Amino acid sequence: MKRILVTGGAGFIGSAFVRYQLETYPDVHVVNFDKLTYAGNLDNVKGVDDKRHTFIKGDIADAGAITEAMKGCDAVVNFAAETHVDRSILGAAEFINTDITGVYNIVEAAKTLGTKRVLLVSTDEVYGSILDGSFKESDPVGPRNPYSASKAGGELIGLSYFHTFGLPVVITRGSNTYGPFQYPEKVLPLFVTNAIDDIPVPLYGDGKNVRDWLYVDDHCSGIDTALRKGEPGQIYNVAGGNERENIVLTHRILELAGKTAALIKPVADRPGHDRRYSIDASKLHALGWQPKMDWDAGMALTVKWYRDNEWWWRKIKTGEYLEYYKRQYGGQ
């Protein structure tokens, strides 16, 4: 693989994947195709090797633009998506447009061009909630919010292109990812940046919902393993192995930010809030992948990164962000 098209490479995980490819494989050239929505940010790829990184501003829902960008690429890895559950509850149209139609355009372009590998980055949320045990790839999907339903839709379109046309599609389902450069609507960067400014952190419901935390570079190495060693038509879970209740996560964030629990503000629960996510990643482990980051160390370095990089998030927490914040949390 010499030329890889990364869609959504200006977002949180996509930008880390761009850096991962350029740092790990000296002969790889990355074409980064991103619409630069509210969540896309060229600051996320500041300083990457320009000679091996080409940025194209474009929309995966635009069939002509994505086909043009894919020409000459050996593989495409799709990160481009609308990704925030709360926004999908406020309005789902963009989720359907990008996460379903956009994925259709990607597989259709890959089929036309004969692209050798198509990796669709998906999420553990497609399984829905599980109170005991962990989901395996062979379990049926049961998404319960508009975001996860649209991600499941995109997956199914992708898999149909494997079964019907033999397109070499591989899917990864990652768990809750954390690290530097995450847009501060997601719980971890939202709580850290609020805490730095002594703004209350809005904890949904009883705070006992469980998420499995995966450090961003481990998520990237998991996707890379599936890309290079995975079998076409297969799905691979990428789990962090760090299940925590939100209240535990919140206390740790506040402690690392040097604040007290007085900042915790219990607010109304998210509608349809999935209680627990848990996935079994033994299928990816069998390909040689293991997450490297310890949760305590990852949390410490992540909170420190937001404390040290106000230049990155302060300019995001203005304009559209403040309007969204008011819409989402205003009445509470």
Task: Give the residue numbers annotated as catalytic, written as ranges.
Answer: 124-125, 147
The 3-class SS string of the chain reads: CCEEEEECCCCHHHHHHHHHHHHHCCCCEEEEEECCCCCCCHHHHCCCCHHHEEEEECCCCCHHHHHHHHCCCCEEEECCCCCCHHHHHHCCHHHHHHHHHHHHHHHHHHHHHCCCEEEEEEEHHHHCCCCCCCECCCCCCCCCCHHHHHHHHHHHHHHHHHHHHCCCEEEEEECCEECCCCCCCCHHHHHHHHHHCCCCEEEECCCCCEEECEEHHHHHHHHHHHHHHCCCCCEEEECCCCEEEHHHHHHHHHHHCCCCHHHEEEECCCCCCCCECCECCHHHHCCCCCCCCCHHHHHHHHHHHHHHCHHHHHCCCCHHHHHHHHHHHCCC
Check binding of 237 to ligand DAU (CB under 6 A). no
Interface with ligand NAD in residues 115-144 (CB under 6 A): 121, 123
Check binding of 34 to ligand NAD (CB under 6 A). yes
Check binding of 87 to ligand DAU (CB under 6 A). no
CB of 89 to ligand NAD, least distance (A): 16
Between residues 12 and 161, which has the closer beta carbon with respect to ligand DAU?
12
Per the rule left: phi > 0, alpha: psi between -120 and 50, beta: everything else, 36 is left
Per the rule left: phi > 0, alpha: psi between -120 and 50, beta: everything else, 177 is beta
Binding mask 208-247 for ligand NAD (x = CB under 6 A): ----------------------------------------
| CA dist., res. 77 & res. 314, Å (int) | 30
Interface with ligand DAU in residues 23-82 (CB under 6 A): none
Binding mask 240-259 for ligand DAU (x = CB under 6 A): ------x-------------
Between residues 34 and 125, which has the closer beta carbon with respect to ligand DAU?
125
Which of the choices ligand NAD, ligand DAU, none does residue 202 contact, using the CB cut-off of 5 to 8 A by kind?
A: ligand DAU
Interface with ligand NAD in residues 80-119 (CB under 6 A): 80-83, 98, 102
Contact status, residue 128 vs residue 138, Cβ threshold 8 Å: no
Closest CB to ligand NAD: residue number: 11
Check binding of 150 to ligand NAD (CB under 6 A). no
Residue of 19, 53, 117, 151 that binds ligand NAD (CB under 6 A): 151
Residue of 37, 172, 175, 193 that binds ligand DAU (CB under 6 A): 175
Binding mask 172-211 for ligand NAD (x = CB under 6 A): --x-xx-----x----------------------------
CB under 6 A: which stretch of 92-100, 117-125, 133-141, 163-171 binds ligand DAU?
117-125
Check binding of 158 to ligand NAD (CB under 6 A). no
Backbone angles phi, psi at 146, to 5 degrees: -60, -35
Which of the choices ligand NAD, ligand DAU, none does residue 85 contact, using the CB cut-off of 5 to 8 A by kind?
A: ligand DAU
CB under 6 A: which stretch of 25-33, 130-138, 199-207, 305-313 binds ligand DAU?
199-207
Check binding of 154 to ligand DAU (CB under 6 A). no
Which residue's entry shows tokens 């593989």?
Answer: 75
Between CA 215 and CA 298, with CA 228 as vertex, the angle to 5 degrees is 10
The first and second tokens of residue 234, run together, are 């297969």
The residues of the shown chain that bind ligand DAU, judged by CB under 6 A, are: 83-86, 123-125, 175-176, 186-187, 190, 202-204, 209, 211, 246, 270, 277
The residues of the shown chain that bind ligand NAD, judged by CB under 6 A, are: 7-8, 10-14, 34-37, 39-40, 59-61, 79-83, 98, 102, 121, 123, 151, 174, 176-177, 183
